[in-house]
Structure 1
Amino acid sequence: MRDNYNIQVIRKRSIIEFIGAVAVIIFISVLLSFLKIRLDLTEDKRYTLSDPTRKVLSDLKSDVFIQVYLDGEMPIPFKRLKRTVSEMLDEFRIASDNRVDFTFRNPSEGEDQKQRESMYQSLISKGLNPVNIQAGDQEGGSSQKIVFPGMIVNYNGIEVPVNFLKNNPSVPAEENLLHSVEGLEYEMIQTISTLTSDTIYKIAFLEGHGELSETEVADITLNLARFFTIDRGVLEGNPGVLDSYAAVIVAGPEKEFSESDKFILDQYIMNGGKVMWLVEEVDVNADSLANGETEALLRPLNLEDQLFRYGARINPSVIQDAECVMIRLAVMTGGTRQQFVPAPWFYYPKLYPSHSHPVTRNINRVKGEYANFIDTVGLDGRIRKTILLSSSGFARTLSPPFLISLKDAETIPDEREFSRSKLPVAVLLEGVFPSAFRNRMTDDLTRDRNFRTRSESISTKMIIIADGNIIRNEVRQIGSNITPYPLGQDIYTGELYGNRDFIINCMNYLVDDDGIMELRSRELRLRMLDRSKIRKERIKWQLINVVLPPVLVIIAGFIFSYFRRRRFTKA
């Protein structure tokens, strides 16, 4: 009788302990639900938003709706990319106090081919770039599939496309996807910041010195218009004409600058203005190559002394690079038949971007045309110099005058002549610059007699690029209709170089006051499995992952049963 009583007491106590434990767990869960605690335990903090991003999101005044066109049947790497995008947008939603909302859509969800094609064309017209991939089916086969790794950001009725897939043909697919993840936060917050900003910066293309025409910079103008207000104009001798612009672009001038225009640009820089110089000292008339040959001639622009004072010198020499773009040459086969064959054109170098700077990190190689190279000069410690673009390790230079012939592409050069390495083509200068007109009489250079000349700048920055063609797009003309090609696209192969991304990043860096551009420096580690170790130790790891867990559960069950039996036996 006493034994039955003890058993009932033990059972009652066990039930009370169980109910108490459940009640404590529920109470702690409810209490924790009111605490917003999010811990990022990853080594590279891939789920932690930066301070500039949090500031932009916390200042949102209206809702932002994002449609991500990355859904449906896709290869595993793209599914991982989709998961990463979803996790990042979740962080955006939380940081913005639910001001950011998003949805995933399948661009191929149409009932028939006609509806799908209509959706594809709609997305392309909005600015999303399609990608063809190999997708497997349930029967073990594969087929071509079109995906749109991008999103449409909608704010107050304004839609802006964001293409977040990095597609660099020179790196493996895994690295491209990793670079896409690295740049994801920047691509999204840069667009949201631009859409929600109360201030829209203005940028001016300089005219009056034979600069590239509107048609020749139409593609980059259209893309920069997503972030800035774009103007074009001449200086007209007024030192304050540039004061309202955040940056100025000098794109491929062909005529000399007057001292008055140089003075206006100099004082604009002294007052904190930013300038992107795309200038070269050698004139090559590429159109004359249609006749088989052309000349490279020295073309001074009267900017040499000014840029030298700022810390750079453009050398009047043309780079030839062994790592170059292929062109199509017409050759005769069989005596009468004409055929186009690819041939290396050493005057079109594939320039290497620096991977250590946010302007050039993770962009494709940049296509140059008859590029010069730059020397950094001066020992002024207040000016920081950073090389953004450079040639390959197998280059040489030619000084004008010299003849350029299409027959050059047919000859095999001596590799020993390509002995120069990493020639700088684009340089970033940051800091406090001395005026190019310091200790000079300037009364006759301005109409404003009350203008006070500054001999030293406030902290500012500029980018010098020794190739005006980097910003020039090709055009297609049919009758009177002129259509620009995307900047950096090879019109023969369709390959897209990094020219557009480079110019856009340059301008965003020059006018960035919020530190958003630094997000492009983010680096994640690619943790790949060791394939050789997998092959050698396949059985061992299969046993560890498949057999060991059930064995541990069984052992734990025996241990629990043993101690439970022992406890109740004593009772």
Structure 2
Amino acid sequence: MSAKRNLLYSTNTLALAIVLFVILVIINGLSKKAFKRLDLTESKRYTISKSTKKLLGQLDDIVRVEAYFSEAPDQVKLIKDEVKDMLDEYDAFASGNLQIEFINPTEDDDLKQKLRMKGIPEIQVQVREKDKIEVRNAYMGLAVVYGDKQEVIPVIQKTTTLEYDLTSAILKTTRKEAKTVGFLEGHDEVDIYGQGFENLKRELDKQYTIRKIDVSQGSPIESDVSTLIVAGPQSPLQANEKYEIDQFLMNGGKIVFLVDAVKMAPGSIQASPLSTGLTDLLSHYGIQLGNNLVQDISHDNLTYSQGGFMTITRPYPFFIKVLKSYQYSTGSTSEGFPADSVATSGLDSLVLPWSTSLSVVAKEGVSTTIMAKTSNQAWTAQAPYNLDPTRMFTPPSSVKNSYPVAVLLAGEFTSFYAGKEIPSASNGDGEEDTENKNEDRKTVEKSPPTQIVVVGTSQFLRQPRVDGLTFFQNSIDYITLGSSLIGIRSKQISDRSFKTDPSTFARLAIKVLCIGAIPLLVALFGLFRFFSRMRAKRMVETYGRV
């Protein structure tokens, strides 16, 4: 009877093991297509975004990802493992249209030469082994190949921006042609090719063909330009120039207007009122520019030199700081980036120096989305402006409001020049150029559905910060490409480091705790087990075995 029971038990155990094995095989197979990853980071750093998943799901042909990594040292392996994890997740959502290959080019001289031609360099990394620091050569790059098009990420030294870089590369290679973004010139606007804007130019080059646009001679803006950037003109636009901008919009073009209320003197904080000639144009489209500068209790600091020897940092209400959520002493809250603004809803903060307020003018067929607004404790200053950071800034006891400072307009716009004579270009002497009459042109009086972004300052580009550049790129991406890349770029990596002063007792206590906590817990557990066994032994000796 006992042998029969043992046989039955063994048979059941074997059957259960086989069933469990089959279940595990099925789960493993399904997990490649449907899986969940527990990501406890605030910004979901290790989870690819919905935008990336959507792009991968729309791939209709094979995209190859060639990852070039050396076998060692440890820091290269760490990056390689993180890249592999992310590529595995990409592969799971690509429906078989992503081919991934990891290649070690260290011993292949021909491949090294090809990689140099591609733009993937061999870099030097420091390695610590046996208390010595050595320098070794290594590869940490990646190429995305689609047909005869290719984009490279030359060096991956950190993975915080990897999803954006990788998705950008896939988007650019699989798109039939790159969109063209034009920057208006001729009025001292932001020069995208100028000094100080190299990082911005490099980021925009990842997705767009960049071109300068000059409309001073009355030439229409080229039809292949998708989006026009009017970035802070410092002198008035003439009527014929505004006409070309208007007609670009009427033909379906998208426009980003960064319009300053004041002209800053170079190298100083002295300002004078600025007329750009755009007020009437924008008012016609649906935005009234304020004749003011906004100040806010939510603001950033201004750092400046005094006497050429000392650097001073002061709170500066003219540097308004838009926050995702404003918290007030009354316990109430308000949003700085409304949830319905796709281009800004992922931002945590945005500093806009010397911004004017914006007011919405209702227009039939045009919808308005507030992209950024001040706290409800903001106020305005009128000309003449006193921008001196050393003066006392006292908020008024009343007349404090929330002001829009960035707005998106979308819909079908009517031409500012509908029913008007087409303005002619100047011949350079301030007189009408009679040789370049627009007799053969006809004004387009209504646009197809299109979009306009208006921001009350360009100074966030002239004094670049990460949040400002992200906001600017998001604005361009949204009206040019849709929301494909916005959710990725807006991911924020929060600083979780200790804020303790290195010289304080607290730092020493934290270090001791980090080093000694685990050994101490092990020792305490060992003592607990020892005394538990001693107690059990005494009970057996006293009462006998039960």
Tell me, yes or no, whether TM beats 0.5: yes
Equivalent residue, structure 2, for 1:99: 99
Q: CA deviation at 1:415?
A: 3.5
Q: CA deviation at 1:340?
A: 4.1
Indicate how the Cα distance of structure 1 residues 349 and 7 shifts in structure 2: closer, same or farther if over 3 A, else same: closer
Contact kept, 8 Å, 2:410 with 2:452, in 1: the verdict is yes
Per-residue CA distance 1:171-227 (angstroms, 9 max, x = gap): xxxxxxxxx7xx975564234323443421111111122323442563322321122
Equivalent residue, structure 2, for 1:155: 144
SS at match of 2:410: strand
Equivalent residue, structure 2, for 1:252: 232
Q: CA deviation at 1:287?
A: 3.5
Q: Distance in 1 between matches of 2:483 and 2:69?
A: 26
Between 1:460-469 and 1:84-93, the stretch displaced more is 84-93
SS at match of 1:308: helix
Between 1:358-367 and 1:33-42, the stretch displaced more is 33-42
Equivalent residue, structure 1, for 2:57: 55
SS at match of 2:152: strand
Supply the RMSD in Å over aligned alpha carbons: 4.6
Q: Distance in 1 between matches of 2:167 and 2:474?
A: 14
Q: Distance in 2 between matches of 1:437 and 1:164?
A: 53
Per-residue CA distance 1:52-99 (angstroms, 9 max, x = gap): 232355644322438799x969xxxxx9x9998765432112334352
The percent of aligned pairs where both chains have the same amino acid is: 20
SS at match of 2:294: strand
Q: CA deviation at 1:409?
A: 2.6
Indicate how the Cα distance of structure 1 residues 49 and 249 shifts in structure 2: closer, same or farther if over 3 A, else same: closer
SS at match of 2:225: coil
2:67 to 65, 68, 80: 65
Per-residue CA distance 1:441-484 (angstroms, 9 max, x = gap): 338688565544322221211211111222225xxxxxxxxxxx
Equivalent residue, structure 2, for 1:327: 303
SS at match of 1:93: helix
Q: CA deviation at 1:34?
A: 5.7
Unaligned 5+ residue runs, structure 1?
A: 1-5, 74-78, 124-150, 167-179, 333-337, 474-486, 489-496, 525-541, 551-571
Q: Distance in 1 between matches of 2:29 and 2:315?
A: 65
1:38 to 26, 34, 38: 34
Q: Distance in 1 between matches of 2:385 and 2:99?
A: 61
Alignment of 1:193 with 2:179, yes or no, is no
Alignment of 1:287 with 2:267, yes or no, is yes
Q: How does 1:153-302 map to 2 (within 5 A)?
A: 153-156=142-145, 158-160=151-153, 188-213=166-191, 214-215=193-194, 218-219=197-198, 220-237=200-217, 240-287=220-267, 294=270, 296-302=271-277
Equivalent residue, structure 2, for 1:498: 467
Unaligned 5+ residue runs, structure 2?
A: 105-122, 325-335, 426-435, 494-520, 530-546
Alignment of 1:397 with 2:373, yes or no, is no
Between 1:27-36 and 1:463-472, the stretch displaced more is 27-36
1:424 to 384, 388, 404: 404
Q: CA deviation at 1:350?
A: 3.2
TM-score by length of 1: 0.63
Contact kept, 8 Å, 1:317 with 1:398, in 2: the verdict is yes
Equivalent residue, structure 2, for 1:308: 283
Contact kept, 8 Å, 1:162 with 1:191, in 2: the verdict is no
SS at match of 1:287: coil
Indicate how the Cα distance of structure 1 residues 345 and 14 shifts in structure 2: closer, same or farther if over 3 A, else same: closer
SS at match of 1:350: strand
SS at match of 1:256: coil
Contact kept, 8 Å, 2:343 with 2:371, in 1: the verdict is no
SS at match of 2:353: coil
Q: CA deviation at 1:359?
A: 2.2
Equivalent residue, structure 2, for 1:136: none
Contact kept, 8 Å, 2:66 with 2:103, in 1: the verdict is no
2:361 to 344, 353, 377: 377
Q: CA deviation at 1:307?
A: 0.5
* AA aligned opposite 1:65: A
* AA aligned opposite 2:276: L
Alignment of 1:469 with 2:469, yes or no, is no
Q: Distance in 1 between matches of 2:401 and 2:266?
A: 26
Q: Distance in 1 between matches of 2:26 and 2:190?
A: 65
Equivalent residue, structure 1, for 2:333: none
Indicate how the Cα distance of structure 1 residues 65 and 467 shifts in structure 2: closer, same or farther if over 3 A, else same: same
Q: CA deviation at 1:10?
A: 3.8
Equivalent residue, structure 1, for 2:544: none
Per-residue CA distance 1:238-281 (angstroms, 9 max, x = gap): 56433111211111112222222212111211222111111123
SS at match of 1:328: strand
Indicate how the Cα distance of structure 1 residues 164 and 253 shifts in structure 2: closer, same or farther if over 3 A, else same: farther
Q: Distance in 2 between matches of 1:20 and 1:193?
A: 50
Indicate how the Cα distance of structure 1 residues 113 and 196 shifts in structure 2: closer, same or farther if over 3 A, else same: farther
Q: CA deviation at 1:417?
A: 5.7
Contact kept, 8 Å, 1:376 with 1:385, in 2: the verdict is no
TM-score by length of 2: 0.66
Q: Distance in 2 between matches of 1:441 and 1:349?
A: 41
SS at match of 1:375: strand
Equivalent residue, structure 2, for 1:115: 135
